Amino acid sequence: MIRLPLVLLHLVFLISLCRGQTQPLEIKKKNNSRNQYKDFVYDGNIIWALTIEGKLTLFDATNGDLISRKVKNDSPIIALANDKEGNIIIGDKSKMIKKYDKQTKTWIPLYKFDTTLLAITFDSKNNYYLITNKGVFDVSTKEYFYPDISQNYQIRHNAGWFREPALLTDRSDNIWIGFGYGEWGGELFIFNTTDRKFIVPNLKGFPIALHPIKSIFESNENVFVTSGLMHFFISGSIVKFDNFQSSPLFESESSRISLNDSTNGEITHGEYIGPGTYNHKDSSIYFYSQNGIFRGNPANDLSKIEHWTKVFQPKLHWKNGQSDAVGSPMNVLKIQFVNSDKLIFVSQNDGIGIYDGKALIMTR
């Protein structure tokens, strides 16, 4: 009988999480391969999915069908991106940046690099920037830029950057570069491509030593950063930046449910917040956690999970031994809206997810 209130509390919590999910979700699975993916880009209703082996697989974004056309490259691909003109750009282990020519269906070599490539991005004029172990590399001027200071006292970068970053080049051509280091927190650097210098953000509302960064995205007014951590307990946060000043939008931490002031009780876990994105069609943030994909308008009070709407909860698999591995949320690496009405995400073990508001297609 003593446990009855706990059961009721958990029931109320689960009901609140499911608020807003008013219709059953149709799930379609298409298992064309056993590939595992780490990234994707979108091009004219085609999803270009990058496998962990550095190969490309193409899917129809409408129905999730595998496209038989093969896009081969003579070296494993490290980084995949769309430039501002919509071209497919890759960097591979031959240390070459290449552009895909749709007419000839071949790769055009653009630039030979000599460092460790982590990511590729572009400013509004379609100038190329490489994120490397030596910092930001401006391809047009052949210059490297590396920050003088770090805001996380626990991390030393004497040997350079070495993890794949969360990345955003905002509408003002600032390159936001975020890293996650698990229990050691994260790093956030902002490079202004116009003034060619690093901007030091005000992180008073976002203690970087506690927040490994999972994604960076923007609305018309703000930049947002998501963070998730599993270290003894599960927690996550979403922070808003206004003119490089941080303020918390949503913070979720584990808590203990106790009875009669007892120190014994059960743990209610927070949200392990993974990647997020912004949909301009409904002016809402979407994020993925171990409890599903949630939606919320940042103009509203989003300080509690009850203020978010749960959109759907895909059942995904995970494996021990992965970085930060404690469950399915660590295996969703990226979510992105295409055409403002279709949400696409990549999971390491279950393939590419395509959600159109009615049905979820899982394809691989």
Q: State both tokens at 254.
A: 């584990």
pLDDT confidence of residue 3: 41
According to the model, what pLDDT value does residue 258 have? 56
Identify the top-confidence range among 13-22, 179-188, 264-273, 301-310.
301-310
Class of domain 4-363: mainly beta
Distance CA 141, CA 297 (A): 40
Q: What is the pLDDT of residues 108-158, one digit of tens each?
A: 999 999 999 999 999 999 999 999 999 999 999 999 999 998 899 888 877
User: Rounded to whole angstroms, what are the CA distances from 223 to 19, 148, 150, 204, 238?
Assistant: 27, 23, 20, 16, 10
pLDDT of residue 14: 38
Q: Are 358 and 343 in contact (CB under 8 A)?
A: no
pLDDT tens, residue by residue, 70-121 = 999 999 999 999 999 999 999 999 999 999 999 999 999 999 999 999 999 9
CA–CA separation, 340 vs 281, rounded Å? 6
Structure confidence at residue 327 as a pLDDT band (50, 70, 90): low
Domain edges within the chain:
4-363
Q: How far is CA 351 from CA 5, 313, 332, in A?
A: 40, 15, 10
Could you tell me which of 324, 325, 306, 327 has the C-alpha nearest to residue 315?
327
pLDDT of residue 229: 87
In tens, the pLDDT along 247-292 reads 999 998 866 565 555 555 676 778 989 999 999 999 999 999 989 9
Q: pLDDT tens digit string along 48-67?
A: 999 999 999 999 999 999 99
Q: What is the mean pLDDT of the chain?
A: 88
